[in-house]
Amino acid sequence: QKDVGILAVDIYFPRTCVDQEALEAHDGASKGKYTIGLGQDCMAFCTELEDVISMSLTVVTSLLKKYGVDPRLIGRLEVGSETVIDKSKSIKTWLMQIFEELGNTDIEGVDSTNACYGGTAALFNCVNWVESSSWDGRYGLVVCTDSAVYAEGPARPTGGAAAIAMLIGPNAPIAFESKLRGTHMAHVYDFYKPNLASEYPVVDGKLSQTCYLMALDSCYRRFCSKFEKLEGKQFSISDTAYFAFHSPYNKLVQKSFARLYFNDFLRNASSVGKDAMEKLEPFSSLSSDESYQNRDLEKVSQLVAKSLYDTKVQPSTLLPKQVGNMYTASLYAAFVSILHGKPSALRGKRVVMFSYGSGLSSTMFSFRLQDGQHPFSLSNIACVLNVSEKLDSRHIFSPEKFVETMKLMEHRYGAKDFVTCSDKSLLAPGTFYLTKVDSMYRRYYAQK
Ligand code: ACO
């Protein structure tokens, strides 16, 4: 198949959110710690009415409707999530309600899990299926859905929540460059969820940052070497218009891009220009282990990479800064932020993507963008996404109300025999919500 990739996308995030500046004051953190230190503006969260199942029901229904796709034309449905509601039953099976209604139960695929990487695994499964001999001509559908919540403490402001749906097929406006994939996987305990009674992860924040940057280096090297084999020339930052990173918080994205810049300098010093070369030279003899801990290198590389960051990375930061870490959906929300900008200027451009899931698994891969044909065109995708309106129609909760909601959700996690509150006024029309969980832990949803 030619140009297999993403034909259509939609994103959903809860309208309920908390302002990072207010949260920082409420938590007694120093002024600017969450907004400048972490680089975050706002954080979305689920109230008792919403969860990863309702969000994915909402986004899949919306995508099929807005692009006019008949649910009978879906042949594979893959879900990536790290939010555990059931240890056996896939989120995918809840989504089957949408398709069963129309008699389509012939849909392969179940859930993929490894921290924030599950969405990428699901996406690769769908793309590989369309490129394979078992493809039956129908569309693949990928859903990334997560509610990222942390216990009180320094990680709490790095939460978020969203679901993204992506329709997969040939002749896509967002086409995979399938030969360009660099992967790095290893065993580490940086972020994991061993306590099955709690929704909160166990996290070693500092270790997770270093693991992320080491994985980035490794993937970039492999990605570059595949590019060189294919194209017969060295890859550098200048070979792509945009980068989208998995975005736990924006500061790590700034550090990541600076790290790629430093990689370019180490591989070919002249590729970064004279001024940057002089500034980075003192760090060229650091061992790689030392380089992850060196604060001066971090600062200098961010400084010299700043203007390129503004053109190649900044467009991808809108949703991750406004919504927070969406785990599996985070990287794709960064990508969607690029599309939202000015779709007409994206034709022919390359976007390099970096997916990271703690534990760990990571891949760097790339897309090539082209106009596409209505309804699967870049401009229609940007129109359907309607990012600005979705952001503008949110309701900002006070930090006190946010903390109260987190407490209620702690009790509700893994609970049975309850009904949710009756006030649906904050939900947008068309949104799915949880109505009750019965004595057999069966969950019931309705659509507003
Ligand atoms: N004004 C401006 N900047 C400030 C201020 C202030 N008042 N106070 C602190 N800062 C800066 C710090 O200098 C630091 O920035 P730097 O790294 O550029 O120096 C930044 O704010 C964070 O502060 P720290 O004290 O270093 O870190 P903290 O203990 O608050 O924890 C962390 C931050 C580790 C990110 C925590 O939120 C966490 O554990 N999050 C979850 C883990 C995570 O997301 N890991 C990423 C990969 S894995 C994944 O995706 C889940």
* CA 204 / ligand 1 centre spacing (Å): 12
pLDDT tier at 111, thresholds 50, 70, 90: very high
pLDDT tier at 1, thresholds 50, 70, 90: confident
Of the candidate ranges 77-81, 109-113, 343-347, 439-443, the one whose mean pLDDT is the lowest = 343-347
Q: What is the pLDDT of residue 114?
A: 98
Of the candidate ranges 128-137, 263-272, 298-307, the one whose mean pLDDT is the lowest = 263-272
**Cβ contacts of 59 within 8 Å, gap of 6 or more:** 10, 11, 12, 143, 145, 163, 164, 165
Ligand 1 atom, smallest distance to 155 CA: 37
Ligand 1 atom, smallest distance to 204 CA: 39
Are 170 and 3 within 8 A, CB to CB?
A: yes
Q: What is the pLDDT of residue 128?
A: 97
Q: Catalytic residue among 144, 199, 246, 340, which?
A: 246
* CA 153 / ligand 1 centre spacing (Å): 11
pLDDT tier at 270, thresholds 50, 70, 90: confident
**Cβ contacts of 134 within 8 Å, gap of 6 or more:** none
Reported as a single tens digit per residue, the pLDDT across 412-437 is: 999 999 999 989 999 999 999 999 99
What CA–CA distance (Å, rounded) separates 156 from 158? 5
Q: Catalytic residue among 17, 42, 46, 116, which?
A: 116
**Coil, strand or helix at 28:** coil
* Residue of the CA atom closest to atom 38 of ligand 1: 155
Q: Report if pTM > 0.95.
A: yes
> Which of 170, 249, 184, 252 lies closest to 2, judged by CA?
170
pLDDT reading at 339 higher than 90: yes
User: Among residues of the chain, what percentage have pLDDT more than 70?
Assistant: 100
Tell me the average pLDDT across 68-84: 98
Q: What is the pLDDT of residue 141?
A: 98
Q: Candidates 27, 33, 156, 212: which one to mutate for ligand 1, based on the most atoms within 8 Å of Cβ?
A: 33
Q: What is the pLDDT of residue 370?
A: 96
Tokens 């129109």 sit at which residue?
A: 383
**Coil, strand or helix at 93:** helix
DSSP string, 189-251: -SEE---TT-SPPEE-HHHHHHHHHHHHHHHHHHHHHHHHHHHSS---GGG-SEEEE--SSHH
Q: What is the pLDDT of residue 344?
A: 84
pLDDT reading at 341 higher than 90: no
* Residue of the CA atom closest to atom 49 of ligand 1: 248
184: annotated active-site residue: no
152: annotated active-site residue: no
Tell me the average pLDDT across 185-211: 97
Tell me the average pLDDT across 302-313: 97
Instruction: State the DSSP H helix or E strand holding residue 309, giving kind and residue range, or none if neither.
Output: helix 295-312
* CA 209 / ligand 1 centre spacing (Å): 9
Q: What is the pLDDT of residue 357?
A: 98
Sign of the CA dihedral running 67, 70, 74, 77: positive
* Residue of the CA atom closest to atom 29 of ligand 1: 154
* Residue of the CA atom closest to atom 41 of ligand 1: 155
Q: Catalytic residue among 82, 177, 199, 298, which?
A: 82
Q: Residue 189, Cβ neighbours under 10 Å: how many?
A: 15
Are 49 and 55 within 8 A, CB to CB?
A: no
Tell me the average pLDDT across 361-368: 98
Average of per-residue pLDDT values in the chain: 97
pLDDT tier at 343, thresholds 50, 70, 90: confident
Q: Residue 430, Cβ neighbours under 10 Å: how many?
A: 12
Ligand 1 atom, smallest distance to 295 CA: 19
Let me know if 290 is exposed, middle or buried by CB neighbors in 10 A (0-12, 13-18, 19+).
exposed
82: annotated active-site residue: yes
Ligand 1 atom, smallest distance to 358 CA: 48
**Coil, strand or helix at 90:** coil
**Cβ contacts of 40 within 8 Å, gap of 6 or more:** 20, 34, 157, 158, 249, 250, 321, 324
> Which of 293, 234, 292, 287 lies closest to 264, judged by CA?
234
User: Among residues of the chain, what percentage have pLDDT more than 90?
Assistant: 97
* Residue of the CA atom closest to atom 50 of ligand 1: 248
Backbone angles phi, psi at 371, to 5 degrees: -55, -50
* Residue of the CA atom closest to atom 16 of ligand 1: 37
Are 79 and 143 within 8 A, CB to CB?
A: yes
Are 378 and 347 within 8 A, CB to CB?
A: yes
Strands 432-437 and 376-377: unpaired
* Residue of the CA atom closest to atom 19 of ligand 1: 37
Q: Residue 443, Cβ neighbours under 10 Å: how many?
A: 17
**Cβ contacts of 206 within 8 Å, gap of 6 or more:** none
Q: What is the pLDDT of residue 342?
A: 80
* CA 38 / ligand 1 centre spacing (Å): 5
Contact residues of ligand 1, CB 6 A cut-off: 30-33, 36-38, 116, 154-155, 158, 191, 203, 205, 208-209, 212, 248-249, 251-252, 325, 358
Q: What is the pLDDT of residue 48?
A: 97
DSSP string, 259-305: HHHHHHHHH-GGGG-HHHHHHHGGGTTS-HHHHHH-HHHHHHHHHHH
Tell me the average pLDDT across 47-54: 98
pLDDT reading at 273 higher than 90: no
* CA 158 / ligand 1 centre spacing (Å): 9
